[in-house]
A and B are shown apart, each in its own frame.
Chain A
Amino acid sequence: MNRQMSPMDRANERRRQLELESYPRHSPAQTSGRTRSRASDETGGGTPEHFELSRRRFVELFGAGIAVGFLLPDAFSGPQESGGGRRRRRGTPEEISAWLHISEDGSVTVYTGKVEVGQNIRTSLAQAVAEELRVPFESIQMIMGDTDVVPYDRGTFGSQSTPRMGPQLRKVSAAARETLIDLAAEKWQTGREKLKAANGQVTNPETGKSLSYGQLTQGQKLVKTVDENQPLTPTQEWSVLGRSQAKVNGRAFVTGRHHYVSDMSLPGMLHGKVLRPPAYEATMRSLDTSKATAMEGVKVVRDGSFVGLTAPDAPTARAALDAIQAEWEIPEQPSRQEIFQYFKDNPVESRGWRGREPHVAGSVEDGLKAADQTLENTFHINYIAHVPLEPRAALARWENGKLTVWTGTQRPFGVRDELAEAFQMPVEKVRVIMPDTGSGYGGKHTGEAALEAARLAKSAGKPVKLVWTREEEFRWAYFRPGGVIEVRSGVTQEGRLTAWEFHNYNSGGSAIETLYQVPNQHIEFHPARSPLPQGSYRGLAATANHFAREVQMDEMARKLKIDPLKFRLRNLKDARLTAVLKRAAEVFRWTDRKAHKGRGCGIAGGFEKGGYIATCAEVSVTDGQVRVERLAAAFECGAVVNPVHLHNQVEGALIQGLGGALFEYIDFAEGKILNPRLSGYRVPRFSDTPQVEVAAINRKDLSSAGAGETPIVAVAPAVSNAIFDATGVRRRDLPMVPDGLQNSSPH
């Protein structure tokens, strides 16, 4: 890094790179060479980094008891792709991804870098521990996302917590249970095989004797590791997992007692504000802070391009910010009206993005020649915002050369590294703590507020809290990418696909491939320059790709006058997708649907991140106003971990998906966001809520996949197909009806 750069500029530079690591993100200033593979992030499940707790320190920290850590498999201990070649020896702490500790009083504490943003992973991971350790669910305390005490974790994204952290914690817990049985066998001088662990104690059924985990743990200072090979309780024998468990700290939320970062305060704390440019890429031409500086208690900080201030209270901070005068120069930038052509005209070279390598089979041209019907369509995807109800917030404190920041981020360790880099200090001197946060949906991978609060706190010499306004959250976070998707397909009169060509410009490569059987395929993702900051989102690009694919499928079925469900099944060999399509149709009563004027039904399905989803929609259209009346979905993600929370996630994804399907879009011109407020950006409300029916298919024979993302992907195509069924009008743009059906989509 350039030593001449200011900490904040350095942070900005570093942040760009980090964001790219977690998801392809372009900003105009970014050069293509920095783009890193997202696939390596989301399939690797976290490259273990230095875990600063040595065994000795671990014992110091936790005192007596039994600690078991999960040792990451060999696959992750080889040389890293960065070329650093950091080989690790087996058994060293930096290969640990999770710890479980049983103290002398029998209390169980679990340490994981995963974080809670409403997906209820705090609850389901505790269930995993209770299941294998054989302790009451209530006796488990989960320590999450505190970089000083939990093992390194790459972040909470990509629906990885359930499939990866879940089994790891189960293995750790199973090993701890076996250790306790060993201890009891030793104490009783008896064979271990006859002993049973249940309800927090080990019992010998022959003698009737039992010892609690606390009694067994007394005087012990055992630190163990466990690896992939630790046997687990078979799904069929689950008694805690697989059952509905209410949110672990639900009472704190309904009583307002849970403290989000924005609710926290420290003695002597100041309030921070940051001066924002009027547009992206704006350069400051002049700055006058004299009026702000003259206010009592106000301190203005300038550090490179960063200008911020601290004040004793929020109103003073706002007034001081208003009093700062700055002039800016804004370069020309593309506007929404031209964005789709812009994506096509501005490709970037990005190695390693998933989908970047074209998927080719047979010859599309031959397939089109063999077809009885061909169809060519273009789909447009607008940028949308996550709008997490809690905007970015951070509370920063410097104490004896150590920086502690409380912030809501999906990547506490990533933010810790950003802070260490920005302030050029060792990571051990930076602690990031993430209290359960007011949602993310993929929108909180970054740590902007953390850096800003830390920078201001450093100058102020006091703790500083900084909470972004809604407008800041809209303008200075990042968006789900916009894009253009072009599809050409061919089909025989009998309804067999012969050709499938699919090009996605900018919106992303996830779920770009089709599960339908097509002999001739060309599927390609084309990364493009993005004039707006873009990044991860719930389901990433899978919504856009499913939208284009499933609308195209529907159009072909309609052309052939084949039932859209039958047409799909005819081209499918995938048993799991077939199963969800049939189940959703059953729940929706697809075959019983009747034609009513102004009413229509549509179906769509797909696969992403280990989960299979099918969604049916019924819409009504009155005076050009589209209303989704009913949604039915079938979702299958292997063995169900927590039925009530699974249903809640699927329902939530369906309803959130309605926003991007029907009316959400970011309007922009000349580097400015034109609707950066909730009054100008419509999100789903009670009145948009349809009747929702969800069927979860429980595949106990399969390992569990995540459920936070995939259920969103089939909503938009199902609704488009239903609108066509109702009206004969085809919608190929997201959002579909921001101003009703009469007016075209916003472009």
Chain B
Amino acid sequence: MPRIKKLFVNEGEAAIDADPQQSLLEVLRDQAGLTGAKYGCGEGQCGACTVLVDGKPVRSCITPVEAAQGKPVTTIEGLAKDDGLHPLQEAFLQEDAFQCGYCTPGMILSASALLQQNAQPTRQEVVEFMNGNVCRCGTYPRILRAILRSAEPSTGGSQ
């Protein structure tokens, strides 16, 4: 199978050279220099590796890079437009919704996908959507608040 030579990441083109079966996570981190997505479990159980492919959240550690070929990929580095912060990033800061921060990029990307498809989710909808993302420090109540705060119309909701 031919090797994959480029990816569309964060509205730009990244030159890569990867086996089609190599994980998207490893290619993003080792070849595209985008280390915001993290390795946590390697089996799609913790969500630390979450990125958006075509606007949908995927566990990049178990996603072969070929699945992202030709599609727009968004990582935490590319979530906010220009130099500012995405409303979710602001909300995470305001709610102190992390401790060690290792799960945070995956949390924010998953949440951004949720708000994209459901601008004003209920608490239960957030819990269900986010259940694949683990925060081992246990900041779930704060993350829930941050997502719900970000979804409030007064704060502008998701982008």
Contact = CB atoms under 8 A, between A and B. Distances in A.
Nearest to A683: B134
Interface in A682-696: 683-687, 689, 692
B51 to A, nearest CB: 10
Interface in B136-153: 136-144
B39 A118 contact: no
B119 to A, nearest CB: 19
A389 B104 contact: no
A299 to B, nearest CB: 19
B9 interface: no
Contact of B136 (A119, A439, A649): A439
A182 interface: no
Given A253-B101, A256-B36, A439-B102, A652 B41 contact: no
B29 to A, nearest CB: 7
Contacts of A686: 126-127, 130-131, 133, 140, 143-144
B133 A438 contact: no
A118 B101 contact: yes
Interface string A681-722: 001111101001000000000000000000000000000000
Contact of B96 (A247, A469, A470): A247
A677 B45 contact: yes
A387 B141 CA distance: 20
A236 B135 CA distance: 36
Contacts of B102: 260, 389-390, 438-439
Contacts of B136: 387-389, 439, 441, 656, 683
Candidate in B45, B103, B126 with the most chain A CB atoms within 10 angstroms: B45
Contacts of A38: none
Interface in A651-703: 651-656, 677-679, 683-687, 689, 692
A313 B138 contact: no
Contacts of A652: 99, 137-139
Contacts of B46: 389, 678
Interface in B1-49: 19, 22, 26, 29-30, 34-43, 45-46, 48
A256 B105 contact: yes
B10 to A, nearest CB: 11
B68 interface: no
B130 A438 contact: no
Task: Determine the interface band of chain A, counting residues with CB < 8 A from chain B.
Answer: 35 or more
Contacts of A655: 138-141
Nearest to B77: A256
A295 interface: no
Contact of B35 (A117, A246, A263): A263
Interface residues of B, number: 53
A118 B108 contact: no
A256 B76 contact: yes
Given A389-B40, A689-B140, A253 B98 contact: yes
A259 interface: yes
A254 B96 contact: no
B101 A438 contact: yes
A539 to B, nearest CB: 13
Given A439-B102, A686-B140, A648 B96 contact: yes
Contacts of A653: 138
B90 to A, nearest CB: 8
Interface in B34-72: 34-43, 45-46, 48
Interface string A384-395: 000111110000
Contact of A389 (B38, B85, B93): B38
B48 A389 contact: yes
A118 B103 CA distance: 11
A651 B139 contact: yes
A87 interface: no
A69 to B, nearest CB: 29
A437 B38 CA distance: 13
A33 interface: no
B41 A470 contact: yes
Given A648-B142, A689-B144, A254 B99 contact: no
A284 interface: no
Interface in A254-280: 254-260, 262-263
A635 to B, nearest CB: 15
Given A256-B75, A651-B141, A677-B45, A391 B39 contact: yes
Nearest to A254: B89
Contact of A687 (B26, B43, B108, B131): B131
Contacts of B103: 389
Contacts of A677: 41, 43, 45
Contacts of A471: 42
Contacts of B139: 648, 651-652, 655
B134 A687 contact: no
Given A263-B29, A467-B39, 9 more contacts: A118-B99, A250-B96, A254-B92, A389-B102, A651-B142, A678-B41, A685-B134, A685-B140, A686-B143
